[in-house]
Structure 1
Amino acid sequence: MPRIMAFDYGTKRIGVAVTDPLQMIATGLDTIHPNQIVDYLKRYLQTEQVELFIVGEPKQMDNTPSQSAMHVKGFVNLLKKTFPDTPVEMMDERFTSKMASAAILAGGVKKSGRQDKGLVDTVSAVILLQSWMERKSFGF
């Protein structure tokens, strides 16, 4: 069964997470600079099948797009153009960074590790993907 891949997009870093082949577990894969994401994905897709891309949709508390929404839209367009056979789905990413920071803290990571923004981005992508998987399993 192909994997599902999720992205926590940022202008400096993109957190990447992926499911196992049975689509039961979300795992942090990497943090990639936006300029390197296409090459990274091309290499990854040479060895792994991915059936769907999930991209975090940045929203404000009133459900309107946040300031970074235009950058995310550009990233989604890039994915669709470069990988036209892989559908892209958006998912609300509110609170994923706060949840990621809390999970890292609860995991006992030392202060130097907690300050690693790349780690936060990767864990945010995992939370995003896990939330999508839970939503799917409950039929939302």
Structure 2
Amino acid sequence: MRIMAFDYGVKRIGVAVTDPLQLISSALTTVHPDDIWRFLADYLEVEAVETFVVGKPLQMDGTASESAQHVVGFVRKLKKTYPAIRVAEVDERFTSKMASSVIAQSGKTKKKRQEKGLVDTISATLILQTYMESKSMM
């Protein structure tokens, strides 16, 4: 069973998944928030997901950021729509910055580096990686 992670944004949601053995996290896609429920329904028809991991937007002092209210609503609907799938939240404070750094170091062209969807999917991958690392330390 896979683990799926989301970097939730009001314009785009970055999505990443693990392989079925939960060893490797990979960027999957970017989905518009209006399309996420159709995307999930289609994906879950062909793939088994054990856990959803959602990036939790926090300020530097650990308090909820302005965008946190959107994430709360998304998490609530995930739990209601898919009650059999566990939902975990992970601090995402540095993921966008780290994603931009990863892209810059990848040798991609400047145009490719400025693609916002790329940052979102890499951010989702970093959120998933953080979750997997915290799980392995337990």
**TM-score, normalization by structure 2:** 0.99
Alignment deviations for residues 14-60 of structure 1 (CA, whole Å, 9 cap, x no partner) = 00000000100000000000000000000000000000000000000
Q: Distance in 1 between matches of 2:60 and 2:32?
A: 27
1:37 maps to which residue? 36
Q: Distance in 1 between matches of 2:60 and 2:67?
A: 14
SS at match of 1:11: coil
1:88 aligns to 2:77 (yes or no): no
Instruction: Map 1:41-60; keep pairs closer than 5 Å.
Output: 41-60=40-59
Q: How far did 1:6 drift? A: 0.2
Instruction: Map 1:1-80; keep pairs closer than 5 Å.
Output: 2-80=1-79
Alignment deviations for residues 64-96 of structure 1 (CA, whole Å, 9 cap, x no partner) = 000000000010011111111111111100110
2:122 maps to which residue? 123
**TM-score, normalization by structure 1:** 0.97
Q: Partner letter of residue 51 of structure 2? A: L
4+ runs of 1 displaced by more than 4 Å? none
| Count of paired positions | 138
Ranges in structure 2 where 5+ consecutive residues have no aligned partner: none
1:133 maps to which residue? 132
Q: Distance in 2 between matches of 1:130 and 1:61?
A: 21
Q: Distance in 1 between matches of 2:76 and 2:135?
A: 24
The CA RMSD measured in Å over matched residues stands at 0.5
SS at match of 1:109: coil
Percent of residue pairs identical: 60
Q: Distance in 2 between matches of 1:92 and 1:38?
A: 23
